[in-house]
């Protein structure tokens, strides 16, 4: 699928599965998994635990204590808007 939009979406899904799958709850990301993903995939974005807590709370829209795939997609959309300048270059 390479550089197609479908390929990019497959990468995002694979990325979610990779981090969501590290504990027993494989369909969603715990705070630890989200932290790991952000540190690995977007180094420097999260500074400290307080920032992570705020970020996690903002993402966990249904307040069930985990980030589902739907909530993750919202995160990706937000990141794309935040980092738009980077992609424009």
Direct distance between the N- and C-terminal alpha carbons of the chain, in angstroms, rounded to an integer: 23
b/e burial code for range 47-57 (CB count within 10 A of at least 16 → b): eeeeebeebbe
Per CB under 5 A, the list member of 17, 23, 25, 64 interacting with Ca ion is 64
Q: In this chain, which stretch among 9-17, 31-39, 45-53, 55-63 interacts with Ca ion, using CB under 5 A?
A: 55-63
Supply the minimum distance, in Å, between the C-beta of residue 34 and Ca ion: 11
33 part of the interface to Ca ion, by CB under 5 A: no
What is residue 67's DSSP assignment? E
Q: In this chain, which stretch among 5-13, 31-39, 40-48, 67-75 interacts with Ca ion, using CB under 5 A?
A: 67-75
* Residue at token pair 């829209």: 61
Give the binding site for Ca ion (CB under 5 A): 60, 62, 64, 68
């Amino acid at each position: 699928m390479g550089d197609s939009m479908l390929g990019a979406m497959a990468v995002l899904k694979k990325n979610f599965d990779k981090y969501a799958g590290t504990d027993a709850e494989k369909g969603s990301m715990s705070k630890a998994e989200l932290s790991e993903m952000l540190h690995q995939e977007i180094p420097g974005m999260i500074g400290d635990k307080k920032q992570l807590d705020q970020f996690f709370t903002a993402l966990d829209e249904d307040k069930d204590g985990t980030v589902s795939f739907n909530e993750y997609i919202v995160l990706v959309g937000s990141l794309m808007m935040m980092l738009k300048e980077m992609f424009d270059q």
